[in-house]
Amino acid sequence: MSGDYLLSVLNIALIYSILAVSLNLVIGFAGLLNLGHAAFFAIGAYTSALLTLVGIPFGIALPFAGILAALFGLLLGATSLKLRGDYLALATLGFGEIVRIVLKNWDGLTRGALGLVHIPRPSFLQFTVKSPFDYFILYFIIALVSFFVMKKICNSPFGRTLKAIRDDEIAATSLGKNVFRYKVTALFIAAFFAGIAGSMFAHVITYIEPNSFTFLESTIIVAMVVLGGVANIKGSVIAAFVLIGFPELFKFVVQVWIPFPASAQAGIKMLVYGLLIIGAMLYQPEGWGIRKLVRKKSEGNA
CB < 8 Å & 24+ apart, contacts of 178-186 = 180/81, 180/82, 182/30, 182/158, 183/30, 183/32, 183/77, 183/81, 184/74, 184/77, 184/78, 184/81, 185/158, 186/25, 186/26, 186/29, 186/30, 186/32, 186/162
Least confident range from 58-67, 72-81, 82-91, 99-108: namely 82-91
CA torsion sign, 123 to 202 to 63 to 163? negative
Q: Is the pLDDT of residue 253 over 80?
A: no
The CA-to-CA distance between both ends of the chain, in Å, stands at 38
Residues 6 or more apart in contact with residue 148 via CB below 8 angstroms: none
Residues 6 or more apart in contact with residue 208 via CB below 8 angstroms: 42, 45, 46, 49, 115, 116, 119, 201, 202
* Chain mean position to CA 145: 15
Beta partners for residue 116, in sequence order: 208
Mean pLDDT of 266-287: 70
Mean pLDDT of the chain: 86
Q: Where are the domains of the chain?
A: 3-214
* Chain mean position to CA 103: 19
Least confident range from 48-62, 117-131, 278-292: namely 278-292
Mean pLDDT of 47-72: 95
Least confident range from 35-49, 181-195, 229-243, 248-262: namely 248-262
pTM for the model = 0.88
Q: Region of 120 please: left (phi>0), alpha (psi -120 to 50) or beta.
A: beta
Q: Is the pLDDT of residue 2 over 90?
A: no
Residues 6 or more apart in contact with residue 63 via CB below 8 angstroms: 196
| pLDDT given at position 3 | 79
Type of residue at 162: L
* Chain mean position to CA 296: 26
Largest CA distance in the chain: 62
- Residue 142 has a CB neighbour count (10 Å cut-off) of 19
- CA within 13 Å, CB half, 261: 2
Type of residue at 221: I
